[in-house]
Structure 1
């Protein structure tokens, strides 16, 4: 069975969409750069192929039939989707384009503040930041460099580690001054997220009974959870690496020295084929040069991996 055998030529669809929208073959002809007779002929061929009248012809005016209105919605949506797909290809046509994939929280908190440095150090690089959350496959996806949050880098790739994922409570300075020891968190408004380690693990490793720590707002996004802490809405169990800029700016404060190692880290990965591109390689070297300046010192408490963390 031949696929798409019922799809008319694209030029017929463009003419139909214009004629349906403008309710005029002559105005549609002007828009698409054809003569009025050519548009009229195309519409008759289109109707013959579909097997349905699409227009009511009333003197020099045209009106859509019920079938025409239904088909117009479909055609307009498909043409808009094709146009949008073409626009999304623009970064691929830019010289020096380097597609960097990273999780949204890492992009917002670590990569975005450093982006001007990349443009200064590698002027020819035109970064395209992808935060869609898809599993990276260098063979099938247009991704040049990926930053992943994992227990270890994937095999068969070039990689280096940016930093470990160590978690510590953070809050606005005014709130932080009211909390002097970990047990004080039991009566605080805690911010929960869907990270690999939660409050029960952190408090348990500091010797605090965590049975009563489930109050507070939950967030599916670690970046939004950290933003809630910046707004004074509670205490977040934040990645030291991702909270570092807010801490240095005085927006957030680390409450305690203890930091719980989640067992995961951020790795920069790419493929040998991708790194043959000079712009990609320059961006790779720039990222590797950022490693000594990232993160913060903390006394780390190793966390046990749970069985579902390996899934």
Structure 2
């Protein structure tokens, strides 16, 4: 079955909408840039396609029939929707756009506080931040630079190690004051985050016999885990890389210097095609300057 077989050519619909609104073929012709005879001919063809008259022709004037008024409402809505769709494409056309695809916690905790620095280093760059969380595929996705949290970067693309992850307890200032030694954490409310390394590994690194460490709230999002710690809802074993801005601002405190490696790193990915763009190059160079600085 052929779909949309009852939809006339768009130029007919534009002419019909103008003629119906203005109640004049001549004024409609001026608006759409055609001659009056061309508009009149289009309306005859349109009425033939529709199978019924849409206009009453009274001398030089035209009036909509009942069917014409009904059809005009539909056509106006459809043309408005098409126009809105075109306007929605405007951000895709803006010059300097660099699509940066990254996990939400990285974007919220590391990239967002540094956007002014990125803009200063690459003034023409207009970042487009995508945190939708789909697997990265440069062949099928409109992405210029992707950031992943992985043990190593995938083969077949350009990669840049931004930082390796080290984990350490972090707490709000009030919660940190109650912690004198690592063993004090055994009586605290612990925040757990999904990952290959957790509290058991950190307690072993700190020489604390912790037994079974499983009580507390679990989070799959590092940003939410850090937010819970900032609200005083527990002690998070956090990526110091992601917690850096909060630690610098004093909303979080690192009570102990002991850290444990997660075995993961934050990698920027791109390919030669994307890096041929000047704005993408400048963004990539900025990321190179930010390597392992925090």
TM-score by length of 1: 0.70
Structure with the bigger RCO (C-alpha within 8 Å, sep 6+) is 2
Partner of 2:230: 230
Partner of 1:116: 116
Distance 2:127 2:143 in 1: 11
Q: Equivalent residue of 2:133, what SS? A: coil
Aligned residues: 284
Q: 1:48 to 1:278 in 2, by over 3 A?
A: same
Partner of 1:145: 145
Q: Which sections of structure 2, spanning at least 5 residues, go unmatched?
A: 57-62
Q: Equivalent residue of 1:293, what SS? A: coil
Q: Equivalent residue of 1:210, what SS? A: coil
Does the CA-based 8 Å contact 1:150-1:266 persist in structure 2? Answer: yes
Q: 1:124 to 1:77 in 2, by over 3 A?
A: closer
Instruction: Give the C-alpha shift of residue 155 in structure 1.
Output: 0.4
Q: Equivalent residue of 1:291, what SS? A: coil
TM-score by length of 2: 0.74
Distance 1:258 1:114 in 2: 27
Q: 1:252 to 1:77 in 2, by over 3 A?
A: farther
The alignment status of 1:132 with 2:132, answered yes or no, reads: yes
Q: 1:10 to 1:148 in 2, by over 3 A?
A: farther
Partner of 1:304: none
| CA offset digits 1:136-166 (Å, max 9, x no partner) | 2222222222111111111011112111122
Does the CA-based 8 Å contact 1:191-1:234 persist in structure 2? Answer: yes
Distance 2:254 2:47 in 1: 69
Q: Which sections of structure 1, spanning at least 5 residues, go unmatched?
A: 295-311
The alignment status of 1:189 with 2:192, answered yes or no, reads: no
Partner of 2:93: 90
Larger Rg computed on CA atoms: 2
Instruction: Give the C-alpha shift of residue 268 in structure 1.
Output: 1.3
